């Protein structure tokens, strides 16, 4: 008899979490203006708003923190982190930052200018914000298949080579670089194939353009390449990782994801020009070059986390839990972006709340309903996150409208997944009675979903 699958770790510390009543949640979400970002953590039972900085660090990471070197300049912790990143990626030049959006801010301050066009696969919120905030255009070149949530193909996060080449053919003079997000978060945590990365590299070389990877979940992308792409089954995650980054000129990283730390990020590149251009902005915005926005203990924890999370067993445990939740949703007939992504389940709100018009934000409505049902906090990845068109100032309704349930690494058990699935089932079973959504009463001009204020319509 084949043994059942089990986690590749054991638990040695726990944190209590509290259940609440429906009446309490009704009041709390109203006080939060129906924006789950504004809830207090103690008002949440199972927190799936993000997998960023919410993972459980290992004993090796905690031990590494005790050896952190907090020297202002030239800390051994920086060189420990630098050596780990260079070994994994091949990139020589490293700039630490306090998180991924800081890495974007530092690098884009040098690379992105008014009137530029940055093509890529479904830019995530901060990436798009840092581009559009500089009066440039973030252009989506994801394959069309990504918009069909029920279509099962192995690499739904891929860049469409024809779309990309068309942009470069028509606007090459305005393109500072090509960006590829691995995995593609906005499209549902979907991976990008090695073959597609090679195609992007070929097109980039044809037009003499550099390639940047948004690499928050690069290890998960490598796992999917190993499991789904021909010729990679016998290769290690570290070997696949190096092959991926050999096709890029640089990377930005929110290390709070696949680095499994609570805070941290970095820029890494093989281009001395990028390093020289960006390092002044690091000193201006983040700190000195050998700590950036990080302290020594966190750099040590990150170096260990990057090493641990580029091993197969760690990744398999994490991704199998996401698959487990997906199978429970399959039992209940709940539609989500298929196949299941690496870090989250993305429920297709437009197929669940069919009576809520897009102008009333179905995914945000579903996010609120799930919280009211069981105190579970997800995150809208849809029409509110999309912001307004910078030219017309109209809401952008041309993408997917998804409820993201991001699973923190090494935090919850499969029993929690059962609760999440049952709560979604309860909402799904009463979906016909949900006919109205929410409207915006206040919003910020960029990245509005973090602070937007809403009211329920009835």
pLDDT tens figures, 7-31: 999 999 999 999 999 999 999 999 9
407 falls within a domain: yes
What's the CA gap between 127 and 140, in Å, rounded? 12
Q: What is the mean pLDDT of residues 73-78?
A: 98
Write out the catalytic residue numbers.
Answer: 72, 124-125, 214, 216, 257, 449
69 & 35 share domain: no
Pure H helices in 261-334: 272-285, 296-308, 312-332
What is the distance between the terminal CA atoms of the chain, rounded to a whole angstrom?
Answer: 55
3-state secondary structure of 244: helix
Please count the residues of the chain. Answer: 458
Do 338 and 274 share a domain, yes or no?
Answer: no
Q: DSSP 3-state assignment of 340?
A: coil
Helix (H) or strand (E) holding 89: helix 76-89
Do residues 266 and 317 both lie within one domain?
Answer: no
Give a yes or no: residue 320 inside a domain. yes
441 in a domain, yes or no?
yes
Do 395 and 346 lie in one domain? The reply is: yes
216 shares its domain with 349: no
* ∠ CA 66-67-73, rounded to 5°: 125
Among candidate residues 147, 156, 123, the one with its CA nearest the CA of residue 137:
123
Give the C-alpha distances (Å, rounded to integers) separating 184 from 93, 179, 205, 221, 329.
25, 11, 22, 9, 22
pLDDT at 414 over 90: yes
How confident is the model over 319-328, as a mean pLDDT?
97
Summarize pLDDT for 139-165 with one digit per residue, the tens: 999 999 999 999 999 999 999 999 999
- Indicate if 340 and 270 belong to the same structural domain: no
pLDDT at 311: 97
Tell whether 350 is covered by a domain. yes
Give the model's confidence band at 128: pLDDT under 50 very low, under 70 low, under 90 confident, else very high: confident
- Look at residue 3 and tell me if it is in a domain: no
| CA 199 – CA 193 distance, rounded (Å) | 10
Structural domain harbouring 179:
57-308
What is the pLDDT, as a whole number, of residue 185?
Answer: 86
Same domain, 220 and 361: no
Q: What pLDDT score does 188 carry?
A: 86
* Number of neighbouring beta carbons within 10 Å of residue 259: 33
Q: Check whether residue 350 and residue 288 sit in a common domain.
A: no
From CA 3, how far away is CA 42, in angstroms rounded? 38
**Domain edge (last residue) among 252, 278, 308:** 308
359 DSSP assignment: G
Opening angle at CA 453, ends 450 and 370, nearest 5: 75
Model pLDDT for residues 226-267, shown as the tens digit of each residue: 999 999 999 999 999 999 999 999 999 999 999 999 999 999
Whether 223 and 312 have beta carbons less than 8 Å apart is answered as yes
| Cα separations in angstroms, 30 against 39, 234, 242, 275, 424 | 10, 52, 48, 46, 21
CA distance 292 to 29: 37
**183 and 257, same domain (yes or no):** yes
Name the pLDDT band for 186 (thresholds 50, 70, 90): confident
> How many whole angstroms separate alpha carbon 64 and alpha carbon 98?
18
- How many whole angstroms separate alpha carbon 253 and alpha carbon 240? 17
- Tens digit of each residue's pLDDT (9 = 90 or more) over 351-404: 999 999 999 999 999 999 999 999 999 999 999 998 898 889 999 998 899 999
What is the rounded CA–CA span in Å between residue 390 and residue 101?
20
> Are residue 62 and residue 100 in the same domain, yes or no?
yes
Same domain for 176 and 213? yes
> Does 122 score more than 90 pLDDT?
no
Which has the minimum average pLDDT: 103-107, 124-128, 310-314?
124-128
Contacts of residue 303, Cβ cutoff 8 Å, sequence gap at least 6: 64, 77, 80, 81, 83, 84
CATH number of the domain bearing residue 377: 3.90.1150.10
Residue 271 above 90 pLDDT? yes
> Is residue 7 assigned to a domain?
no
Angle at 297 between CA 296 and CA 299, to 5 degrees: 65
Q: Are 222 and 237 in contact (CB under 8 A)?
A: yes
Binding residues for pyridoxal 5'-phosphate: 100-101, 185, 214, 217, 254
- What value does the mean pLDDT of the chain take? 96
CATH code, domain carrying 238: 3.40.640.10
Same domain, 212 and 302: yes
pLDDT surpasses 90 at 129: no
Q: What is the pLDDT of residue 372?
A: 98
- Per-residue confidence band for 124, with pLDDT thresholds at 50, 70 and 90: confident
Q: Are 90 and 270 in contact (CB under 8 A)?
A: yes
Q: Quote the pLDDT of residue 390.
A: 85
- Checking if the pLDDT of 220 tops 90, the result is yes
Asked if residue 422 belongs to a domain, the reply is yes
What residues form the annotated binding site?
100-101, 185, 214, 217, 254
Decide if 80 is inside a domain: yes
Domain total for the chain? 2
Which tens digits make up the pLDDT trace of 301-316? 999 999 999 999 999 9
């Amino acid at each position: 008899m084949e043994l059942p699958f089990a986690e590749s770790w054991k638990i040695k510390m726990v944190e209590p979490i509290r259940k609440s009543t429906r009446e309490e949640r009704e009041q709390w979400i109203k006080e939060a203006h129906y924006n789950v970002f504004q809830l207090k953590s103690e008002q949440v039972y199972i927190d799936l708003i993000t997998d960023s900085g919410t993972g459980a660090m290992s004993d090796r990471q905690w031990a590494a923190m005790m050896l952190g070197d907090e020297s202002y300049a030239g800390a051994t912790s920086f060189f420990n982190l630098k050596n780990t990143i260079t070994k994994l990626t091949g990139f020589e030049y490293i700039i630490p930052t306090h998180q991924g959006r800081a890495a974007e801010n530092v690098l884009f301050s040098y690379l992105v200018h008014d009137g530029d066009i940055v093509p890529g696969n479904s830019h995530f919120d901060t990436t798009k914000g840092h581009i559009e905030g500089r009066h440039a255009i973030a252009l989506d070149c994801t394959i069309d298949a990504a918009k069909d949530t029920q279509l099962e193909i192995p690499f739904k996060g891929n860049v469409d080579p024809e779309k990309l080449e068309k942009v470069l053919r028509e606007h090459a003079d305005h393109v500072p670089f090509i960006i590829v997000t691995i995995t593609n978060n906005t499209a549902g945590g979907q991976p990008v194939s090695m073959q597609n990365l090679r195609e992007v590299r070929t097109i980039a070389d044809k037009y003499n353009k550099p390639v940047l990877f948004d690499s928050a979940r690069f290890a998960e992308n490598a796992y999917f390449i190993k499991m789904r792409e021909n010729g990679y089954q016998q290769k290690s995650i570290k070997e696949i990782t190096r092959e991926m980054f050999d096709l890029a000129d640089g990377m930005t990283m929110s290390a709070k994801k696949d680095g499994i730390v609570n805070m941290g990020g970095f820029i890494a590149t093989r281009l001395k020009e990028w390093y020289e251009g960006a390092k002044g902005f690091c000193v201006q915005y983040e700190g000195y070059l050998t700590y950036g926005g990080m302290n020594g203990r966190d750099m040590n924890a990150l170096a260990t986390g990057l090493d641990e999370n580029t091993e197969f067993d760690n990744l398999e445990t994490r991704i199998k839990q996401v698959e487990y939740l997906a199978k429970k949703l399959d039992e209940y007939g709940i539609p989500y972006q298929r196949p299941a992504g690496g870090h989250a389940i993305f429920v297709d709100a437009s197929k669940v709340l069919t009576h809520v018009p897009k102008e009333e934000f179905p995914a945000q409505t579903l996010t609120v309903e799930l919280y009211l049902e069981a105190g579970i906090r997800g995150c809208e990845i849809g029409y509110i996150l999309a912001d307004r068109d910078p030219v017309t100032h109209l809401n952008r309704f041309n993408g997917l409208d998804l409820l993201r349930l991001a699973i923190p690494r090494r935090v919850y058990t499969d029993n929690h997944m059962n609760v999440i699935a049952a709560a979604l089932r309860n909402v799904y079973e009463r979906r016909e009675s949900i006919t109205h959504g929410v409207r915006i009463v206040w919003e910020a001009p960029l990245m509005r979903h973090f602070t937007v204020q809403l009211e329920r319509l009835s």
